[in-house]
């Protein structure tokens, strides 16, 4: 028997309306995330992975809008919530980490105040108590000398430290779901490893579910138990991470894996040419029904497999 | 394959003990001068037809080294030789001549093209400056170069904003190649690009290297790309080369603790399948007899202090690692 998923997305459609025209950006996407599970979404820029995450947290702006489907979070449909209820939920039960911490943080407030704000808004603490808690929160993300660092402004911190602050803000209220949108793309490799480890440790200690969005298959492989591959607005393959990397079924997933030069894959004599997926995403004319249809089958087969287990 | 030259011939490019220090102003009225030591005695050579990659974290001095080679950064001391002749200091060739020695492909194709110039103008300008007078000759050359990088000559009349990221990087490559330089410096050529486009640009760069017998110096922190493209790899840490050698030596037997740390931090999709390169990282090799690895502490370098004396020790054919002699 399976538990009830924490987040359940069913047949999600997201449309872009400009003038009288409407185009679907995300089409019929369904996946679910269990409590404490880390789920990854991979795909190229423009495939709809960020838009999907923004629709969950309710940050989508016009001209984009959810046009169909359901977003069930712990039994409630988020689409039916008023903006006020959504605001209570956001940051409190669902939190998000963005790609670029410098633009996501307020440059005019100290990091301590930005963390404390979470406790004041969602837990009704006084500013004084909240600032005390902010020090603890900074310590939990392993920022050295948190008592001094709370008085820093974002520009006084390095990229890695700023991303740690973002994590502290996101996890301040012990959310049940953390959405991390390319959390380490802007960081150096060694810092990236530290930040990923931190996210992994904190979330598994608190049993926080993670929706990780990235174009880096390596990051996803290290962090997530299950992966969904998105392509031109559709979820084309959704599998256990191990299975996906060991035996990708969809042509596009194979392409994506073959397009990356992977460490240790070069033979001593001569190298294999990288797979050229071609920028099909930008070339909409090549998106034939056939391309969509053919891949749907293996995905369904994968579904059937996992349900039988 | 490539990478082999006759022993008598000097290497295409040779960097000898390069230092680049940036003066940092101390306190007001303070006489003491501080210098940020970006590059601390880098020596390396590039053979014809070879791709040499320099890897390391941001701030390790890899870009500064590259800028010194193309002449955008004056070194504090040291020498850079092209085909055995110095290209910096008093005997340096004029700028126009230098432009034919080395050219650079920049990381961000959005920032490195002039938004107000058509592609044709961006590509034709260097030719015109270098004395190609005839219009038809310039047009032919531009068209040929665009075809080479996978664009069409008709696209020359467009402006950079009309192209996608991958296409812009192609234009950046065409611009670097238009003067037929001997060396192309690639500064993170694919890190600003999307995954699928990355493969195309990497394939293009490798094809061009073969077709035009180019030599590359590539700067990157993406070790997957480095392994795929390089003939030799230099690992830089805090302005020094800590390990240098044939790509296979670096990736199959990484020896310096910093190289090992760098390789271990790459999120590797193969890691979960237990087939990746990380297997080699399990047993740390000991430093050569009578030496210890330098620097020993790879966490927090002091960028203002001069590094302690150390040397690159050969541990196998074409594989050197930086060590410090143990005092007897």
> Sorting pLDDT into bands at 50, 70 and 90, what band is B216?
very high
What contacts 24+ positions apart, CB below 8 Å, involve B65-69?
B65/B15, B65/B18, B65/B20, B65/B39, B65/B236, B66/B104, B66/B185, B66/B187, B66/B217, B66/B219, B68/B15, B68/B18, B68/B20, B68/B39, B69/B13, B69/B15, B69/B102, B69/B183, B69/B185, B69/B217
User: pLDDT at position B275, please?
Assistant: 53
Contacts of B228 in chain A (CB under 8 A): 261, 265-266, 271, 274
Which of the two residues, B176 and A253, has the higher pLDDT score? B176
For the domain with range B13-50+57-93+225-325, which CATH number is right: 3.40.50.300, 3.90.1580.10, 3.40.50.720, 2.30.30.140?
3.40.50.300
Query: What digits encode the pLDDT tens for the residues B136-167?
Result: 999 999 999 999 999 999 999 999 999 988 89
A129-148 per-position pLDDT tens digit:
999 999 999 999 999 999 99
Task: Tell me the per-residue pLDDT of B89-109, one tens digit each, with 9 for 90 and over.
Answer: 888 888 888 899 999 999 888
Domain range list for chain B = 13-50+57-93+225-325
Q: Which residues on chain B are in Cβ contact (under 8 Å) with A262?
A: 224, 268-270, 276
Q: Does residue B189 surpass a pLDDT of 60?
A: yes
Tokens 């990282």 correspond to B281
pLDDT at B227 over 70: yes
The total domain count for chain A is: 1
Q: Using the beta-carbon criterion (under 8 Å), do B164 and A189 form an inter-chain contact?
A: no
pLDDT band at A283 (very low <50, low <70, confident <90, very high): very low
* CB contact B268 to A (< 8 Å): yes
Long-range contacts of A83-88 (CB under 8 A, 24+ apart): A83/A58, A86/A58, A88/A122
Q: Which residues of B touch A245 (CB under 8 A)?
A: 269-270, 272-273
Asked whether residue A266 is domain-assigned, the answer is yes
Give φ, ψ of A232 to 5 degrees: 45, 50
Helix (H) or strand (E) holding B265, with range, is helix B257-265
Compare all CA atoms of chain A with the CA of B163 and give the residue at the minimum distance: A282
Segment A68-94 mean pLDDT: 91
H-helix segments, chain A = 49-57, 83-89, 101-104, 111-123, 127-140, 146-149, 159-171, 189-206, 217-223, 241-246, 251-259, 289-308
**pLDDT of A95-110, one tens digit each?**
999 888 888 999 999 9
B237 CB within 8 Å of a chain A CB: no
Structure tokens at A146: 């948190």
Q: What is the pTM of this model?
A: 0.83
Mean predicted lDDT score pLDDT of chain B:
87
> Which of A194, A198, A242, A261 should one mutate to test binding to chain B, selecting the residue with the greatest count of B CBs within 10 A?
A261
Select the residue of A255, A257, A279 nearest B166 (Cβ to Cβ): A279
pLDDT score recorded for residue B278: 58
In-domain check, residue A77: yes
Mutate to test the interface with B, among A217, A263, A278 (most CBs of B within 10 A): A263
- Compute the distance between CA of residue B67 and CA of residue B71 in angstroms, rounded to an integer: 6
Q: Using DSSP, how many helices (H) and how many strands (E) does chain B show?
A: 9, 13
Q: What is the pLDDT of residues B25-68, one digit of tens each?
A: 766 666 667 788 999 999 999 999 999 999 988 888 998 999 99
Q: What angle do CA B8, B9, B13 make, to 5 degrees?
A: 140
Share in percent of chain B as helix, strand, coil (round to 5) = 35, 25, 40
What is the rounded distance in angstroms from the CA atom of residue B258 to the CA atom of residue B26? 31
Name beta bridge partners: A77: A72
Provide the ipTM.
0.75
Residue-number span of the structural domain to which A259 is assigned: 7-93+173-308
Rounded Cα distance, A267 and A263, in Å: 11
At A2 the pLDDT is 56
Whether A112 is covered by a domain: the verdict is: no
Angle between helices A127-140 and A159-171 (to 10 degrees): 120
Residue A2 belongs to a domain: no
Say which residue the tokens 């007899």 belong to. B289
Residue A240 domain-assigned (yes or no):
yes
Q: How confident is the model at residue A7 (pLDDT cuts 50, 70, 90)?
A: very high
């Amino acid at each position: 028997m399976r538990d009830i998923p924490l987040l359940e997305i069913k047949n999600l459609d997201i449309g872009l309306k400009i003038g009288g025209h409407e185009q679907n950006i995300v089409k019929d996407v369904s996946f679910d995330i269990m409590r404490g599970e880390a789920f990854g979404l991979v795909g190229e820029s423009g495939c709809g992975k960020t838009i999907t995450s923004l629709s969950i947290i309710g940050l989508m702006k016009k001209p984009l809008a959810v046009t169909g489907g359901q977003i069930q979070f712990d039994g409630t449909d988020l689409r039916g919530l008023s903006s006020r209820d959504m605001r209570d939920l956001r940051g409190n039960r669902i939190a998000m980490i963005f790609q670029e911490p410098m633009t996501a943080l307020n440059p005019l407030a100290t990091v301590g105040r930005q963390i404390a704000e979470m406790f004041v808004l969602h837990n009704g603490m006084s500013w004084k108590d909240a600032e005390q808690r902010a020090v603890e929160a900074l310590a939990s993300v392993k920022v050295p000398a948190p008592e001094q660092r709370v008085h820093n402004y974002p520009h006084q911190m390095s990229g890695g430290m700023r991303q740690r602050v973002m994590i502290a803000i996101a996890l301040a209220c012990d959310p049940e779901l953390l959405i991390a949108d390319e959390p380490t793309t802007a960081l150096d490799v060694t810092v990236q490893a530290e930040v990923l480890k931190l996210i992994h440790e904190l979330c598994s200690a608190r049993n926080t579910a993670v929706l990780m969005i990235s174009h880096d298959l390596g990051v996803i492989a290290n962090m997530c138990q299950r992966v969904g591959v998105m392509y031109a607005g559709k979820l084309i393959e959704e599998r256990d991470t191990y299975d996906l990397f060991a035996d990708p079924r969809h042509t596009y997933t194979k392409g994506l894996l073959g397009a990356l030069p992977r460490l240790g894959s070069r033979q001593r004599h001569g190298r294999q040419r990288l797979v050229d997926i071609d920028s099909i995403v930008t070339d909409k004319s090549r998106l034939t029904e056939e391309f969509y249809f053919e891949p749907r089958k293996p995905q369904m087969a994968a579904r059937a497999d996992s349900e039988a287990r | 394959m490539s990478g082999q030259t006759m022993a008598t011939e000097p290497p295409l490019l040779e960097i000898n003990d390069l230092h680049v220090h940036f003066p940092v102003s101390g306190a007001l009225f303070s006489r003491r001068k501080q210098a940020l030591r970006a590059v601390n005695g880098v020596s390396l050579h590039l053979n014809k037809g070879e791709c040499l990659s320099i890897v390391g974290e941001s701030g390790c001095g890899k870009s500064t080294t590259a800028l010194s080679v193309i002449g955008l950064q004056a070194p504090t001391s040291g020498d850079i030789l092209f085909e055995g002749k110095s290209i910096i200091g008093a005997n340096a060739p004029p700028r126009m001549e230098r432009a034919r020695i080395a050219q650079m492909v920049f990381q961000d194709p959005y920032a490195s093209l002039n938004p107000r110039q058509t592609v044709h103008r961006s590509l034709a300008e260097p030719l015109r400056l270098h004395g190609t007078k005839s219009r038809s000759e310039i047009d032919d050359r531009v068209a040929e170069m665009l075809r080479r990088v996978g664009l069409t000559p008709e696209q020359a009349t467009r402006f950079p904003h009309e192209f996608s990221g991958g296409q812009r990087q192609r234009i950046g490559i065409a611009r670097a190649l238009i003067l037929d330089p001997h060396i192309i410096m690639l500064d993170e050529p694919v890190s600003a690009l999307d995954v699928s486009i990355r493969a195309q640009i990497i394939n293009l760069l490798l094809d061009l290297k073969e077709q035009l017998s180019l030599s590359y110096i590539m700067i990157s922190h993406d070790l997957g790309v480095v392994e795929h493209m390089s003939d030799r790899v230099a690992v830089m840490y805090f302005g020094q080369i800590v390990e240098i050698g044939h790509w296979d030596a670096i990736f199959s037997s990484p020896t310096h603790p910093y190289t090992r740390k760098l390789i271990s931090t790459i999120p590797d999709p193969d890691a979960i399948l237990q087939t990746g390169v990380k297997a080699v990282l399990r047993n740390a090799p000991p430093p050569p007899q009578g030496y210890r690895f330098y620097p020993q502490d790879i966490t927090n370098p002091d960028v203002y202090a001069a590094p302690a004396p150390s040397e690159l020790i050969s541990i196998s054919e074409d594989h050197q690692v930086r060590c410090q002699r143990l005092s007897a």
